[in-house]
Amino acid sequence: MADYFYILPSLRVAEEWYQWPSLLLGFFVSGVYLICRYAAKIFALLKVEMDLMRQFLAITFGGLTPSYYARQLFFGALFAIFFIYMKSHTLHGIDFATVAVFVVSTLLYPYSRFVYESVVGFIMGRNVFFVNALLMLFFKVITMFICWFLAIFIAPLGLLYLYWHHSRQLSN
């Protein structure tokens, strides 16, 4: 039997235990050589990818005006604070996963609310309705809660729309 057996045509693996250190050293030296040889190309590709990712994040997450985002973030934070307070006073207390979901819902709430307001604006148009203020506030709080609660599912639609809208503006 030969001292080596083949895994790939160009790759030999040692059969004996004392042959492994030299084989691993060879792999390490080959890897370092390839990294050094192609480092400039690798870093250039990484820079291009980072620029694309930065542009994507700026177009999507930066697509809302800062005042709109801050206003909606304030109302989303009120829901999170309320539910964290209520959950912390239960028998089981509050755990990290619950707080994490509340934080994610709060951060995505402005985009969820943007989707809701866009859909309602499309359906209602520029019509104005005169209703009781307390009734309107009640329904507004209910829709805000629904948007906050389902923000994880609704917000990606808003982010996709913002990306499509702003990338189309950049191309024109």
The 10s digit of each residue's pLDDT in 90-105 is: 888 888 888 999 999 9
SS3 91: coil
Sign of CA dihedral 52, 68, 79, 151: negative
* pLDDT on residue 153: 93
Residue with tokens 């994610």: 104
CA distances 8 to 1, 30, 78, 108, Å, are: 18, 16, 61, 49
End-to-end CA distance of the chain: 69
* pLDDT on residue 91: 86
* pLDDT on residue 23: 66
Q: Give domain limits for the chain.
A: 4-48, 61-171
Residues of the chain with pLDDT below 70 are: 1-24, 57
DSSP code per residue over 110-169: HHHHHHHHHHHHHHHTT------HHHHHHHHHHHHHHHHHTHHHHHHHHHHHHHHHHHHH
List Cβ<8 Å contacts ≥24 apart for 97-102.
101/152
* pLDDT on residue 7: 46
The 10s digit of each residue's pLDDT in 118-131 is: 888 888 888 888 88
